[in-house]
Amino acid sequence: MTTAVPPLTRLANLLRRRAAALVQWFDADYMPEGAAKMRAMPDRVDWMRCIPFIILHAGCLGVIWCGWSPFAVWTAVILYFVRMFAVTGIYHRYFSHKTYSTSRFGQFLLALWGGTTVQRGPLWWAYHHRHHHQHSDDPEDAHSPHVHGFWWSHIGWITSKRNFPTDYSKVKDLAKFPELVLLNRFDTLIPILFAIAIWGFGWLLEIYAPGLGVTKWQLLTWGFFISTTALFHGTSCINSMAHLMGRRRFKTEDDSRNSFILAIITLGEGWHNNHHRYMSATRQGFYWWEIDITYYMLKGLSYTGFITDLKPVPKSILEEAARADHVASVAAARRAALVHPEYSSFRRVVPAAAAIAVATVNAAHITLPRRPDDPAIHMDVTELAHDQARKDLPRSHPPAASNSPDGT
Ligand SMILES: [Zn+2]
Ligand SMILES: [Zn+2]
């Protein structure tokens, strides 16, 4: 039998919770009830805590008042990709998996860059991501679409109170750097400064480059709110879609998949099944045709010496991939022949026609030796036949003179 809580106590508890959420907007480690207790709570949206996240989305509506200009739209696009690189190349491939090395100062710069993505601090990101790899698609996974449904895996999980704290004991390799802990704790600081910088840049353009037709509010709306919201949903597609859409090369224990479309949107993260199979490699597209722009950029950065020790995909994994691809192609051929017999002949004809077309094109590049006395093109068929017969005569038929008994 439960004892009734007095109304005044209930009100005091509610106010305390609201006040705590307010402080957490600026100090992510402020948890009066304790981080462990928060993590043990059932999943529930904490609306008060999510107000900054709601403001981020609502800020996109500013476009109704401030309109657009080509400069503002291009700023949004460029900042999307610059910061998508920060999510994938920094938060994911560096802080979460340490797939390359850098100096301590370099690491700090990377953390600052990562902070502009407005996806919380580097340690929070790395902790949750490592947890995802440990528990992929099992009930412990905070954002599995198979366990919690699409929308929860895409956006719901980050609004849940239990997912707010960082478990520093699970990211000890990062928590030993106080500068990273500081950025992680005050994780709204960089986004606020970033938004102010964009607004200030717009203000300068308004004064010194009026020909661009861009205003400070327009640049803030496009460069920060729209670009950041798009960046959030692009990144979230990996949590939701990359475990639902695409091909499974490796039979991993989770349901991760490889998707070209997701790889383009996220600069290479769409090769998620590759990544789940071998998460320590810098590259996630294992072959040249698996476009992985983050990897190309990291490779480029490695030439400057800013980052080093990019980790390759081991030969054994590539061999496993080759075997898996072979098995998959044989299975696909069998399916084409056995399933839907009314289509199977069509499916056989198309690859054959493609092969013939390729062979024909290649044949055009083959240079056969030409005889110097080839007939001129103006000869008609009769002339050609006669000319050919005349030329062939000495070889096929010896001269009549040599046949005479006396040799004359
Ligand atoms: Zn995953
Ligand atoms: Zn990962």
- How close is the Cα of 272 to the center of ligand 2, in Å? 8
Based on the domain organization, do 307 and 327 belong to the same domain? no
Instruction: Tell me the CA–centroid distance for residue 136 and ligand 1, in Å.
Output: 6
Give bridge partners of residue 45 from the DSSP assignment. Answer: 160
Q: How many CB atoms lie within 10 A of CB 158?
A: 21
Cα 94 to ligand 2 centre (Å): 10
CA of 254 to the centre of ligand 1 (A): 8
What distance in angstroms lies between residue 134's CA and the mean position of ligand 2's atoms? 10
- Looking at residue 26, the DSSP 8-state letter turns out to be T
Whether residue 122 sits in one domain with residue 216: yes
> Which listed ligand is nearest to 96 at the C-alpha?
2
Per the CB < 8 A criterion, the answer to whether 129 and 94 are in contact is: no
**Total-model pTM:** 0.80
CA distance 314 to 388: 62
What CA–CA distance (Å, rounded) separates 312 from 324? 19
Nearest bound ligand to CA 237? 1
User: Which H helix or E strand runs over 146?
Assistant: helix 145-148
C-alpha radius of gyration, the chain, whole number: 33
DSSP 333-382: HHHHHHS-HHHHHHHHHHHHHHHHHHHHHHHHT------TTPPPTT--HH
Same domain, residue pair 307 and 328: no
> How distant, in Å, are the alpha carbons of 44, 97, 201 from that of 234?
24, 20, 25
The closest ligand to the CA of 253 turns out to be 1
Ligand 2 centre and the CA of 271: distance in Å? 11
Q: Is residue 207 part of a domain?
A: yes
Q: How far is the CA of 27 from the centre of ligand 1 (A)?
A: 29
Whether residues 225 and 349 fall in one domain: no
Give the integer Cα–Cα distance in Å for 354 and 247.
23
Q: Compute, in angstroms, the gap from residue 240 CA to the centroid of ligand 1.
A: 8
Q: Would you state the pLDDT for residue 275?
A: 97
Residues 43 and 173 in one domain: yes
Q: Which two structure tokens, joined as six digits, stand for 330?
A: 């044989």
The tokens for 251 are 């039979």
Q: Which ligand is nearest to the CA of 241?
A: 1
Please indicate, yes or no, if residue 362 is contained in any of the structural domains. no
Are 189 and 323 in the same domain? no
Q: How far is the CA of 237 from the centre of ligand 2 (A)?
A: 14
- Six-digit token string for 49: 């805590």
Q: Which of 81, 247, 257, 110 is nearest to 177 (CA)?
A: 110
Ligand 1 centre and the CA of 187: distance in Å?
24
Distance from residue 186's CA to the centre of ligand 2 (Å): 24
Ligand 1 centroid – CA 126 distance (Å): 13
| 58 domain-assigned | yes
Q: How far apart are the CA of 265 and the centre of ligand 1, in A?
A: 16
pLDDT at 331: 78
pLDDT of 399 reads 42
User: pLDDT tens-digit profile of 59-82?
Assistant: 999 999 999 999 999 999 999 999
52 with 100, same domain: the answer is: yes
Domain shared by 343 and 306, yes or no: no
Which residue bears the tokens 């657009």? Answer: 68
Look at residue 8 and tell me if it is in a domain: no
> What's the gap in Å between 135 CA and the centre of ligand 1?
9
Together in a domain, 321 and 294: no
**Residue 129 CA: which ligand is closest?**
2
- Domain of 61 in residue numbering reads as 16-313
- Centroid of ligand 1 to alpha carbon of 297 (angstroms): 22
Which parts of the chain have pLDDT scores under 70?
1-3, 334-408
| Residue-averaged pLDDT of the chain | 85
How far does residue 48's CA lie from ligand 1's centre (Å)?
29
Verify that 327 and 293 share a domain, yes or no: no
Rounded CA gap, 14 and 32, in Å? Answer: 13
From the CA of 268, the nearest ligand is 2
> What letter represents residue 312's amino acid?
P
In our burial notation (b when 16+ CB lie closer than 10 A, e otherwise), range 3-20 reads eeeeeeeeeeeeeebeeb
Residues 131, 157 within the same domain: yes
CB of 269 within 8 A of CB of 89?
no
Q: Is residue 329 a part of any domain in this protein?
A: yes
Distance of CA 128 from the midpoint of ligand 2 (Å): 10
Counting ligands in written order, the one closest to the CA of 88 is 2
**CA 150 / ligand 1 centre spacing (Å):** 13
Number of domains the chain is built from:
2
Ligand nearest to the CA of 259: 1
Q: How far is the CA of 130 from the centre of ligand 2 (A)?
A: 7
Do 142 and 131 touch, CB atoms closer than 8 A? yes
The pLDDT tens digits for 15-27 are 887 888 888 888 8
The rounded Å distance from CA 313 to ligand 1 centre is 18
Inside any domain, residue 128: yes
Tell whether 289 and 330 lie within a shared domain.
no
From the CA of 400, how far away is ligand 1's center (Å)?
86
In this structure, which residues have their CB less than 5 angstroms from ion ligand 2?
279
